[in-house]
Amino acid sequence: MKAVTQLLLGLSALLGASAASAAVIAITGATVHTLDDQGTLAQGTVLVRDGVIEAVGTDLALPADATVIDGTGMVLTPGLLAPLSDVGLVEVSGVASTNDQRLKDVAVGPAFSVRHGVNRYSVLFGVARTGGVTRALAGPTPGPGVFAGFGSVLRLDGAPGVVTGPDRIMVAALGEPGADRAGGSRAQALQTLLRGFEEAARYSRSSDLARRGLASGFSLPYYDLEALKRVREDDVPLWVHVDRAADIEALLAATEDLELTLVIVGGAEAWRVAPALAERKIPVVLDPLGNLPESFDRLGARLDNATLLHEAGVTIAFNELTGHEVRELRQYAGNAVAQGVPWDVALAAITRVPAALWGEEDRLGRIARGYAADLVLWTGDPLELTSWARWTMIEGQIFEPASRQLQLRDRYVEPTTRLAPPAPKP
Amino acid sequence: MRRRKLSLGLAPALWALGALAWAETSPPSYYEADPSRAGAEVRGAGPLPYSSRYAPAASGAVLLKDATVLLGDGGRLDEGDVLFDAGRIVAVGAELTAPPEAEVIDAAGRWVTPGLIDVHSHLGDYPSPGVEAHSDGNEATAPVTARVWAEHSVWPQDPQFPLALMGGITTLQILPGSANLVGGRGVTLKNVPARSVMDMKFPGAPHSLKMACGENPKRVYGRRRSAPSTRMGNVAGYRESWIKARAYQAKLDEAAASGEALPDRDLEMETLAGVLRGEILIHNHCYRADEMLIMLDIAREFDYKITAFHHATEAYKIADVLAEEGVCGALWADWWGFKMESNDAIEENIALMEKAGACAIVHSDSARDIQRLNQEGAKALMAAQRMGLPYDEALAIRWLTQNAAQALGIADQTGVLAPGLMADVVLWSGNPFSVYSRAERVWIDGTLHYAAGEGGVRPTTDFDLAQTPAGRGEASR
């Protein structure tokens, strides 16, 4: 019961690996942030069976077959979720041959889907898990066009079938990056986006026969029209990179009558448009540290953007990050708290809210009965950078801290002048 | 047009008023006010130009009472007092008595540290907005540009300077970029508002010379089909430069000995020879352990000292050597994987340097992270504690203060809260390694440059006027 370490050592020995799973696991004694109706439990118990959370409470009877982990003095949260990232698509950012998140010059627009390029053997998965991140949406970066393509939800255990949510979002770019892709004007970027949906609507209304003879009437190829048709008809959310308030306002005005589910990504000046975003129920995936006026799209950038949006009733999530950076999610949330965002709202912005934005609100992002057993046991307040993840659980499987980085650390803990293997024993 | 007419109409009257005021108050001229011009000179070429014109404002006594004080040198006081006056630390201890005129601040529950120092910044050289017209950090027109000085690119109205100040940064080194093998001179600045970079220069701080290993120079020039295009080409380029510099220095020495004419002035050589004489400190961008060891071999061949390797994501692999050679590592807490030479970066880099007894520094190289260098320190501390090393806040703050000052050659001036040193002081709302803490007040040479909150003190650059919202650097409410 007492023996967290013993248990884990035992399991590790049994499985010969750092990942461990048992059919029934009870975590007791920890402060449990459920992100659900139960709020925070001071000394909660979470019961996991076959990878799913079975019960959450304070006085739960533990089944006889449960493996018990004592979390006393520690903090349990849902696994952290990176709402938009390139994890699994990029191994070394500066090495183009390892980068599968963007197209350079192929004429595929919205039809581009990253889901076939995900590398579940990536060393980034172990680094992300060690930092408490259990899932990420792997999305495309805008390539040659205004539409970047579909992004997919990944489970970061590295097991077969890591793409659990294929093509969950469509990504596009407006503002300065959009202008770069639409001939040089922000105005044309928005028109290109609107024209895509106009053509997709017309395409939807066409008969099969007409679609087959698509020689004229459409500027987009059939596969891109099919993609935008899916966005419209299957209600795939359109995530738009846009920072400048004027561009957000233009987007809102132009899409008033379109049945699109919009999410703003970036939104450095979104605070200026907060009431309209709240009214239209448009969430913002923002960088709560993005206060630099780095471009003319961001002159209104400020450190309390998240606070102002939250107070206006806008749903906020943190944060677009590269795959290498996803372990920094909690730093963004912690800083948002320092700028006035309530603590539980900041934690939700890296757990419950991304799950909802992915359409997974019934399965991910909370510690509640029926939810996937994605949990992190922290040594302290998870938003404090001096805390660390004691372990990370994905669908009931426990991952001890383990990564290529930690192997490098352990190799060089003591000064090493010889890296040659030791002489064979006689 | 209308505005022009108006100003023409008013100008004579204003000018008369201004002239009157000028005659009455008549401060010393801008150039005569220079406090630090005396003495220094270019070897054989007259007085040193471009020396500091920084003159701290007159400041009174301040007593911070009952704070948790991290001294910067590994020491810590609980319920400690810090007294400074006339720009200098007067005393640090318990139950200090304030002079009658002192401002006394009850700092119970709050923390005090020396002003943070970032040894690797490009503020002013790569200002915001990052448009092409502002790109002044890399003279990427030749692989060796020891003749350029980063200070001559610094735009003091870069709105990023005040944001760094709000993060407790009082001193920062501005370096040229890493496109070149030898990028040019770096400069150490006080983070104060100014009309010219010369009004920010840290008085008496030595110049540095930026050098760069690895991927950047060989990529920049290799793509142009010119040298260097390989790491071996990089090394040949450094060695050829030092051969010339050695020859130039020999001519200077001969001229001094014989009384004959000095060689023609050569900006390239003046910088490199300054390194050979130990007057200019080498700050060497270098990621990989094997390349750092080669750079140390080059330093041996030409008998110069490398003060610090920057970025050095593999410093942990050679921490014993860096400790023995007395070379600092200016490091990130967690950047990794953005290019091949950063692929072996680990979170314990700083911790393992410390463990080996080497000089470890937390640096930013980022206009974002410079605003939260304390949080980068927190990450490094976490990595140390996670592996069981017994490090605490008092030790970790050295990575952002004393060790950084040492690498800049100003450790006798700042970086530690000790009597006689510059009163560069930060009052934090709590433990500076907590993500929730913020700098509440920042003093530079005893002058209050930032005070958070309503009615506070915060510098505003010209750029900020009319286009910077409240809340840029701190929550507006």
- Residue B339 maps to a domain: yes
Residue A425 lies in a domain: no
A295 and A183 share one domain: yes
Q: Tell me: do A142 and A61 sit in the same domain.
A: no
CB-nearest partner of A385 from B345, B379, B472: B379
Instruction: Compare all CA atoms of chain B with the CA of A336 and give the residue at the minimum distance.
Output: B436
Cα distance from A51 to chain B (closest Cα, Å)? Answer: 28
Structure tokens at A140: 């495309």
Tokens 């720009």 locate to B87
Quick check: A384 and B130 CB within 8 A?
Answer: no
The DSSP annotation for B61-130 comes to -EEEEEEEEE-SSS-EEEEEEEEEETTEEEEEESSPPPPTT-EEEE-TT-EEEEPEEEEEE-TTTSPSS-
B10 lies in some domain: no
Of B320, B433, B463, the CB nearest to A415: B320
Which residues in A314-332 are b (16+ Cβ under 10 Å) and which e?
A: bbbbbbbbbbbbbbbbbbb
Q: Are residues A380 and A258 in the same domain?
A: no
Task: Confirm if A29 and A71 have CB atoms less than 8 A apart.
Answer: yes
Angle between helices A404-411 and A123-130 (to 10 degrees): 80
Classify B347 as helix, strand or coil: coil
Q: Tokens 């009952």 map to which residue?
A: B66
Number of domains within chain A: 2
Q: Are residues A130 and A218 in the same domain?
A: yes
- The tens digit of pLDDT for each residue in A323-374 reads 999 999 999 999 999 999 999 999 999 999 999 999 999 999 999 999 999 9
Q: Are A48 and A54 spatial neighbours (Cβ–Cβ below 8 Å)?
A: yes
Among A328, A345, A360, residue at a domain's last position: A360
Residues A40 and A132 in one domain: no
**Domain contains B468:** no
What's chain A's Rg over C-alpha atoms?
A: 23
Residue B9 lies in a domain: no
Residue A412 lies inside a defined structural domain of this protein: no
User: Domain of A389: which CATH number?
Assistant: 2.30.40.10
Chain B residues near residue A95 by CB distance under 8 angstroms? 339-340
Q: Residue A99 in 3-state DSSP?
A: strand
CATH code of residue A126: 3.20.20.140
Place of tokens 């860096």: B322
Nearest to B382 among A95, A388, A413 (CB): A388
Residue type, A296: F
The CA-based angle B32-B35-B41, given to 5 degrees, is: 90
Q: What residues in A contact B348, CB-CB < 8 Å?
A: 409
Which residues from A are below 8 Å from B471, CB to CB? Answer: 302-305, 308
Query: Do A160 and A40 sit in the same domain of this protein?
Result: no
Q: Are residues A46 and A109 in the same domain?
A: no
Q: How far is A316 from chain B (nearest CA, A)?
A: 17
| B31 in contact with A, Cβ within 8 Å | no
In a domain, B61, yes or no: no
Q: Are residues A346 and A391 in the same domain?
A: no
Would A21 be classed as within a structural domain?
yes
* Averages of pLDDT over each 10 residues, chain B, 477 residues: 33 37 51 48 61 90 98 98 97 96 97 98 98 97 98 98 98 98 98 97 96 98 97 98 98 94 95 97 98 98 98 98 97 98 98 98 98 98 98 98 98 98 98 98 98 91 90 81
Contacts of A415 in chain B (CB under 8 A): 319-320, 356
**Domain range for A129:** 80-360
Query: Is B223 within a domain?
Result: yes
Cβ-defined contact of A92 to B468 (cutoff 8 Å): no
Same domain, A266 and A177: yes
Helix, strand, coil: what percent of chain B each, to 5? 30, 20, 45
Q: Which helix (H) or strand (E) holds A172?
A: strand A163-173
**Residue B402, domain member (yes or no):** yes
- Residue A174 lies inside a defined structural domain of this protein: yes
- Among B386, B387, B474, the strongest candidate for a mutation testing the A interface, having the largest count of A CBs within 10 A, is B386
Q: Are residues A217 and A292 in the same domain?
A: yes
Q: Are residues A241 and A299 in the same domain?
A: yes
Q: Which two tokens stand for residue A193?
A: 């986006």
Q: State how far the alpha carbon of A254 is from the alpha carbons of A260, A281, B92, B265, B377, in Å.
A: 11, 16, 63, 64, 46
Chain B interface test: which of A74, A294, A296, A386 (most B C-beta within 10 Å):
A386
Say what the alpha-carbon torsion angle B10, B12, B13, B18 is, to the nearest 10 degrees: 120
- Across chain B, how many H-helices and E-strands are there? 11, 16
Q: Is B229 on the interface with A (CB under 8 A)?
A: no
Q: Does B343 touch chain A (CB under 8 A)?
A: yes
Type of residue numbered B14: L
3 state SS of A331? helix
Nearest-by-Cβ selection for B381 from A292, A296, A386: A386
Q: Which two tokens stand for residue A335?
A: 């800083």
DSSP B251: H
> B316 — contact with chain A (CB < 8 Å)?
yes
Chain A hits for B339, CB-CB cut-off 8 Å, are: 92-95
d(C-alpha A289, C-alpha A349), whole Å: 14
Say if B160 is an interface residue toward chain A (CB within 8 Å): yes
- DSSP letter at B317 equals G
Looking at the DSSP bridge assignments, the partners of residue B276 are none
In a domain? residue B206: yes
Final residue before a domain boundary, out of A326, A360, A394: A360
Closest-CA residue of A relative to B472 is A302
Global ipTM: 0.93
Q: How many CA atoms lie within 13 A of B355 on its CB side?
A: 23
Residue A411 domain flag? no
State how far the Cα of A254 lies from the Cα of B260, in Å rounded to an integer.
Answer: 79
How many Å lie between the alpha carbon of A379 and the closest alpha carbon of chain B? 10
Beta carbons of B86 and B101 less than 8 angstroms apart: no
Residue A421, sorted as left (phi over 0), alpha (psi -120 to 50) or beta, turns out to be beta
Per-residue DSSP letter, A320: B
Cα separation, A97 vs A111, in Å, equals 21
Whether chain A has a CB inside 8 Å of the CB on B371: the answer is: yes
DSSP assigned state of A419: -
In a shared domain, residues A70 and A203: no
Q: How far apart are CA B420 and CA B404, in angstroms?
A: 19
Q: Residue B193's domain is classified under what CATH number? A: 3.20.20.140
pLDDT digits (tens, 9 = 90+) for A4-41: 444 444 344 434 344 566 799 999 999 999 999 999 99
Which of B129, B319, B477 lies closest to A293 in CB terms?
Answer: B129
Q: Which residues have C-beta within 8 Å of that of residue A202, sequence separation ≥ 6?
A: A217, A218
Query: Where do we find the tokens 């928005």?
Result: A190
What's the CA gap between B303 and B299, in Å, rounded?
A: 5
Q: Do A291 and B472 touch (CB under 8 A)?
A: yes
**Which ranges constitute the DSSP H helices of B303-372?**
319-325, 349-355
**Contacting B residues, span 94-113, partner chain A, CB-CB under 8 Å:** none
Largest CA distance in chain B: 74
Angle, helix A186-205 to helix A222-233, in steps of 10 degrees: 80
Q: Which residues 6+ apart lie within 8 Å of A166 measured at CB? A: A113, A115, A150, A152, A153
- Give chain A's residues under pLDDT 50: 1-18
Q: Whole domain around residue B386: which residue ranges?
A: 115-413
- Domain count of chain B? 1
Element (H, E) at B19: helix B2-25
